Amino acid sequence: MGMETSDAELLRRVASGEESALRELVERHSAWLLLRLRRRTADEELAASAVQDTFVAVWHNAKGYRGDGDVGAWMWGIAIRQLVSRLRVRRQPTPVSQQVISALSPRLRSAEDELLIAVEHGDLGSAMRGLSPELRQALQVTVVDGLTTREAALLLGVPQGTVKSRVRLAKAQLRQQLMGGLA
């Protein structure tokens, strides 16, 4: 068997209009994107349509990929923003799902997920578990997912000022818990 084509090469081929390259990216990335989006919303249809539109956006914007960074991370940025834009048009906020999908196969885990799993069992994981669910969610969507406070507010269904306060409080509590053992 030959070597597997890299995601970056597939994206270059998508940019030149090659549909089979897009199909391969969909096969490689749609499952983990869907799993991660389903952690952010309890609405499975919303998550599925966000994934579908993510690949439409990849098809139309492949030339916009600068090549500096992981293709999966670039697509995750598109996917989470697709989800947020769907939440904007809804009348009522969708609560973020508390479901943790622990049965991810190693092949579907992103590097970020691997890091989070490793950290979960260390001091930071213990400190994070000490935070309230609200503070943990605010930290996750802003720091881990890289959303702006405005986007996080839409996703979490709370005012932007509440997101800022929760992130500030979460960081302070983490700092206290992690540095407290050094004093």
Q: 63 and 140 in contact (C-beta within 8 Å)?
A: no
Average pLDDT estimate for 41-66: 90
All structural domains of the chain, each given as residue ranges with its CATH number in brackets, are 1-103 (1.10.1740.10), 121-183 (1.10.10.10)
Q: 50 and 79 in contact (C-beta within 8 Å)?
A: yes
The residue with tokens 């992981």 is: 70
* Reported pTM: 0.58
- Nearest to 57, CA basis, from 35, 96, 85: 85
Q: What pLDDT, in 10s, does the model give residues 7-43?
A: 999 999 999 999 999 999 999 999 999 988 888 888 8
DSSP state of 62: G
Look at residue 102 in the predicted model and tell me its pLDDT. Answer: 37
Q: How far apart (Å, rounded) are the C-alpha atoms in residues 151 and 147? A: 6
Q: What pLDDT, in 10s, does the model give residues 95-105?
A: 433 333 333 33
Q: For all residues of the chain together, what is the average pLDDT?
A: 78
Q: What pLDDT, in 10s, does the model give residues 132-143?
A: 888 888 887 787
Phi, psi of 89 (to 5 degrees): -85, -5
